[in-house]
Amino acid sequence: MTSKLLLIFVSASVGYVLGRTFDTTGVQGLLSTVITILVFTTILPSMMLLRLRATRLARKPLIASLIINFIYSPLYALLVLRLAQNYEMGIALTSSLLMPVPSMNPVYVLISGGDLELSVSLMAVNFLAGVVAFPVLLKAITGLHSIALDMHAVVRSLFVVVILPIAFGNLAGRFFNPDRERISRLTEFSLNLLVFTIFFSKARFVHPEYILSQIPLSLGFILSAILLAELLSKILGMSLREHLSYVFITAGKNNSSVIAILTLSLSPVYAVYVMVHQFTQIVTLFVYAKVRKGEKVI
């Protein structure tokens, strides 16, 4: 996991440095086309492999996860739009906070020693609810700040890159089993190319101070969501395994889906800020999982 994270970070760093060094103005059209292709080759396979089945649910973790994902997260998103240093950062981070369930949740649960079967069921409920609620919450929150977004484009992108692939994948899964390992490797390769291309293409539009100013906002949400989950788990009398079954699907968000949605409906520049949140999220949740397991972080 550490090596994969390092590779993504290197892809982003190299792309950003090259993008700040060379003028990409004349090839923005070409780069946008490449980014669109990479968005599909990255997100579609992972969505098609996603199996949403709630085989075993527990009432307390379910209630806690819904409270954090659909009450606390939108409230924090409202604050983000007020505090973000620029418009793109505000929209990008707000969108991330409204799409629950990180794709790496099973990894965090296994590292920490949580209940994976329960967590997978909680993932299914929260992700499906998140897909339905995403455009509604995004429109409501941006509307409160008098920000006009093309919600038709957002909903269309959500349908194309999330809903259709999941529906097709779950239907096709009844007739054949895809080679998950091979698809996973191809997705990782495509993801690194996507990260490099976006940072290379949009580096001149994203100043370093913007990125640095976002990290406290991202970290503030993740840590506060973890603390809220700890509090709710104690109040509701959950076991540690129950707590670890839902904490990562609330403090973590499905940034890959948000990158695809915003890239297709708005602009790839929004994806830069989503990726900054993604980096912050992966490191923070990885450390938390290790600490909860009682293992050394490094």
Element counts in the chain: helices (H) and strands (E) = 14, 0
Check residue 25 and give its pLDDT. Answer: 85
Give the tens place of pLDDT for each residue, 229-264.
Answer: 999 999 999 999 999 999 999 999 999 899 989 998
- Chunked into runs of 10 residues, the chain (298 residues) has average pLDDT values of 76 92 88 86 71 72 97 97 92 97 89 91 92 96 92 93 79 68 79 90 86 95 98 96 96 93 91 92 94 70
CB atoms within 10 A of CB 74: 18
Check residue 187 and give its pLDDT. Answer: 80
Task: List, in order of start, the domains of the chain with CATH numbers.
Answer: 2-293 (1.20.1530.20)
Check residue 51 and give its pLDDT. Answer: 60
State how far the Cα of 58 lies from the Cα of 118, in Å rounded to an integer. 7
Check residue 173 and give its pLDDT. Answer: 65
Give the side-chain half-sphere CA count within 13 A for 266: 23
Check residue 127 and give its pLDDT. Answer: 92
State how far the Cα of 148 lies from the Cα of 47, in Å rounded to an integer. 29
> In terms of pTM, does the model score above 0.85?
yes
